[in-house]
Structure 1
């Protein structure tokens, strides 16, 4: 079980891990060991996710999310397969935790009178500066 919060946990059966060869440093065994990890989690078909969390995950517009609703994470930061596996799982937990709480609704406000006046005063000052940049003798 992959624990997300006190009330939410993902069973191991919902996570699909694939091990592949990582690029980068690795010494003599770099071309023989499969230290990189690709973790796939089917967001659309997961029975463990609450519907609200599923909708927030799918609405994220994340490039790691496929058209079928599968979240694909790759871990190749470390030379060790176990550390890459733990890293990818931690990132999955953080992504799901970020979608647990509903985002706050924005309260529409109007700019204050003083802020409007400051904005207009700044625009007038900028206008005077730019008017002073004309050719010499072109004052009217």
Structure 2
């Protein structure tokens, strides 16, 4: 089973949407119409599992405030609906990142051949260094 299938989904009723004016170039349309979206998602009050909440709060991400609120601003597209979908997708990607738990590393030992090769290399290196010494007659 993939990690994406196990990742908890963010419920839209837990997200606060605000339509705002986008920044940057765009002329009359961008100056008149509020097409950008800012979403706020309170991690503490969400229905996410406790483990995911803890990992989200532990992330070093500038979009997560000290109060545990994720703030994402989307203004990539010209339409409000596409920006809304983009913001939700970016929030879901952040939750997926926090939900992903890397597999535990299985500690292994170097094989006998690798250890022997390492010792041979050390001996060879020592011999090269010995040849650099001054010859005493």
Deviation at 1:22, TM superposition (A): 0.7
Greater share of helix: 2
More deviation in 80-89 or 27-36? 27-36
Q: Partner residue of 1:57?
A: 56
| RMSD (CA atoms) | 3.3
Ranges in structure 2 where 5+ consecutive residues have no aligned partner: 129-133
Q: 1:26 to 1:62 in 2, by over 3 A?
A: same
Using the size of structure 2 for normalisation, the TM-score is: 0.69
* In structure 2, distance between residues paired with 1:28 and 1:114: 72
Q: Partner residue of 1:14?
A: 14
Q: 2:10·2:92 contact (CA, 8 Å) conserved in 1?
A: no
> Secondary structure in 2 aligned to 1:74?
strand
Deviation at 1:114, TM superposition (A): 6.7
- Aligned residues, how many? 125
Matches within 5 A, 1:58-137: 58-109=57-108
Q: 1:102 to 1:27 in 2, by over 3 A?
A: same
More deviation in 108-117 or 12-21? 108-117
Q: 1:111 to 1:12 in 2, by over 3 A?
A: same
Q: 1:17 to 1:108 in 2, by over 3 A?
A: same
RCO higher in structure (CA 8 A, sep ≥6): 2
Using the size of structure 1 for normalisation, the TM-score is: 0.68
